[in-house]
Structures are given as structure tokens and as C-alpha cells.
Amino acid sequence: MNWMNWVDTIGAAGLVLVAVGAVAIYLCTKNGVYLSWIGWRFRRHIGALLRDPASLDVAAGVRAGNPLIRIFSEAVQAACRGHDDLRAELAFQFHKNFRAVNRGMTLLRLISVISPLLGLLGTVLGIAKVFRVMAGQTLVNPAILASGIWEALTTTIMGLSITVPVLCLYYFFRMQINGFQVELMEYAGRFSAPVPSHRES
């Protein structure tokens, strides 16, 4: 099957699905690598602080390239300035520093929704094409009918093949982000809490 026959088989909806699938692969790879990297760097940063709390440098953390370290440092800085609601501060910082990730996640969710619809559209258009060809024939060949319907169903298969893994990865990434939020709340609260004074016995 050459290129033109393949394009004719999947139709316009199939071509759109190929483009959508390519975007989905890019976004899943980018988000997977990025979230793993920032999580690893953040846990190393926290590990170093737990071993030596005196090494906490909020000013350097605010300028860090890792958004999790920035959020943590800005939340600790806000708490040290007397900000009462740490949860609200973290939510604001998360929104500010995770805009690009949130846009990517929204696109992934959109892809998981529109892919089966595009597949269904391709199937409907393909079946309409089969029936139009059949209407012009006096004697219908069942083999041609079966072949045409199989080609029409190809886009539905493509749509579902995109939707299922993208939706699974979307929820996996969402769980990672929620885990980051919980960790940030825990560590920001711990490092922004006043150090208890020990009375001499």
C-alpha cells in the first residue's frame, strides 16, 4: 500500500488523528520526563535540608530553575513574613509556577476526549462513502462492502488507540502533581514552623 492509498483509506479524519497522536506522544514524553526530573531534584533538595536544616537558603531557592524548589522557597519565605494561610500561598505559587505543565495537561485531556469522536467521525464518513459507491452499482459485491466497512472502522480503532494510553498517562501525571502538592505542604509547613526553644535543665 503506497502513501496515497493509505491516505485514501484513513481519510481526512484519519490524517487529523495521526497529527493528534503525534502531539499526544510529544506531550506525554515531555511531561513524563519533566515531572520525573523536577521531582527527583526536589527530593534531593529536601533530603539535603533534612540532613542540614541550617543550609536552607530561601533567596537562592526562589531563583532556582526547578519550579518545585521555587514554590517551596516562596512558601517558606511567605510564612516567615507572617502569611497565615500556607495552603492558599502554596495554591497560588503552584498556579504561577506550573502554568506550562497545566496547559500541557489540559491539552492531553482534550486529546483524550476528541480522539474517539474524530475516530467516530471518520467511521461515519467512511460508511457513507461505501454506501454512495454501492448506490451506483446494480450488483453489490459483498467483498467490496466488507472491505469498505473495514476501512471505515480503521479511524475508530485509531481514535481508541490514542485515547486509552493518553487518558491513563493523564491520570498518572495528575497523581504525580497531586503528590507534589502534598509533599510541598508537608515540607513547607515543617521548615516554616518556628524552631522550639529548649529550656536548660
pLDDT in tens, 30-57: 999 999 999 999 999 999 888 888 888 8
Distances (CA, A) of 55 to 25, 45, 113, 119: 40, 10, 47, 55
Q: Which residues contact 7 (CB under 8 A, 6 or more apart)?
A: 14, 15
CA distance 44 to 166: 29
Would you state the cell numbers that stand for residue 111, as one nine-digit string? Answer: 486529546
pLDDT of residue 57: 83
Q: Residue 201: is its pLDDT beyond 60?
A: no
Q: Which 3-state string (H, E, C) describes 44-77?
A: HHHHHHHHCHHHCCHHHHHCCCCHHHHHHHHHHH
Instruction: Select the highest-mean-pLDDT range: 17-31, 78-92, 112-126.
Output: 17-31
185-196, pLDDT tens digit by residue?
888 888 775 544
Confidence of residue 7 (pLDDT cuts 50, 70, 90): low
Would you state the cell numbers that stand for residue 49, as one nine-digit string? Answer: 535540608
Distances (CA, A) of 188 to 9, 30, 37, 192: 56, 27, 20, 6
Residue type, 61: G
Confidence of residue 82 (pLDDT cuts 50, 70, 90): low
Q: Residue 133: is its pLDDT beyond 60?
A: yes
> Average pLDDT, stretch 129-149?
73
Q: What's this model's pTM, rounded to 2 decimal places?
A: 0.81
On the CB side of 181, CA atoms within 13 Å amount to 17
Burial of 68 (0-12, 13-18, 19+ CB in 10 A): buried
Q: Residue 200: is its pLDDT beyond 50?
A: no
> Average pLDDT, stretch 164-177?
95
